[in-house]
Chain A
Amino acid sequence: AQSVSQHNHHVILSEAASLELGCNYSYGGTVNLFWYVQYPGQHLQLLLKYFSGDPLVKGIKGFEAEFIKSKFSFNLRKPSVQWSDTAEYFCAVNAFYSGAGSYQLTFGKGTKLSVIP
């Protein structure tokens, strides 16, 4: 079965520090990759996605992610975090799941980011 691994459960950074959140998936076929974010008290929303073309994708609020096919990775980055980036970040992979005979969007367990002013 496909799986998505997020390396860090909780990351604490000071404002202006750089951020990198790791995401690896276990699926060898064609994938579509997503990062979703959940700000405190809000619903999940899309941060960015990759489905083809340039492996470096840019999303909202200065976030970017790089798809490295050989490493099965899709890490999220931001050069300088702000207090307002405090949220939970979920990596997700959409791929064909033979057990279901259809495409499924599978989420990682999430990484909580706390930014200290």
Chain B
Amino acid sequence: EAGVAQSPRYKIIEKRQSVAFWCNPISGHATLYWYQQILGQGPKLLIQFQNNGVVDDSQLPKDRFSAERLKGVDSTLKIQPAKLEDSAVYLCASSFTFATNEKLFFGSGTQLSVL
């Protein structure tokens, strides 16, 4: 089966610029997650969607980050304006259901460098 698709693979921007990441989950997966992974750390949850509704965005810096999931399929994550500390790999993941023992399927991530 096709995996979780993410683009772009790499992005380099200057601070205060804006950037957007795109994710296409596995077909039929109801739940979609965005994680931020800073170098040397584990992935940190930013936001999770159930279909096109937000389940948890408690760790999303809402003053600069936004995310949407159109029609319960694709999702975009935006940062505006970017800060140096936003340099990280942004991972998208999806799962078939929202069950707490569900396996997550991860994409390859977008590596963001903010200069």
The residues of A with any CB-CB pair to B shorter than 8 Å are 4, 32, 36, 42-46, 49, 51, 90, 92, 94-95, 97, 99-110
CB pair A110–B100 under 8 Å, yes or no, is no
Bound Cα distance from A43 to B93, whole angstroms:
10
**Cβ-defined partner of A46 (8 Å) among B3, B103, B107:** B103
Within 86-113 of B, Cβ neighbours of A (below 8 Å) are at: 91, 93, 100-101, 103-109
Known: A49-B103, A105-B104. A44 touches B56 (CB 8 A): no
Bound Cα distance from A57 to B7, whole angstroms:
35
CB pair A108–B103 under 8 Å, yes or no, is no
Count A-B pairs with CB separation below 8 Å: 59
Which 7 A-B pairs have CB atoms at the shortest separation, nearest pair first?
A107-B42, A51-B101, A100-B58, A44-B106, A102-B56, A32-B101, A43-B106
B55 within 8 A of A: yes
Size band of the B side of the interface? 20 to 34
Question: Across the interface, which residues of B come within 8 angstroms of A44, CB to CB?
Answer: 43, 91, 93, 104, 106
Task: Give chain B nearest CB distance to A110 CB in angstroms.
Answer: 5
Bound Cα distance from A106 to B107, whole angstroms:
17
CB pair B45–A105 under 8 Å, yes or no, is yes
**Cβ-defined partner of B44 (8 Å) among A95, A101, A107, A110:** A107
Within 29-44 of B, Cβ neighbours of A (below 8 Å) are at: 33, 35, 40-44
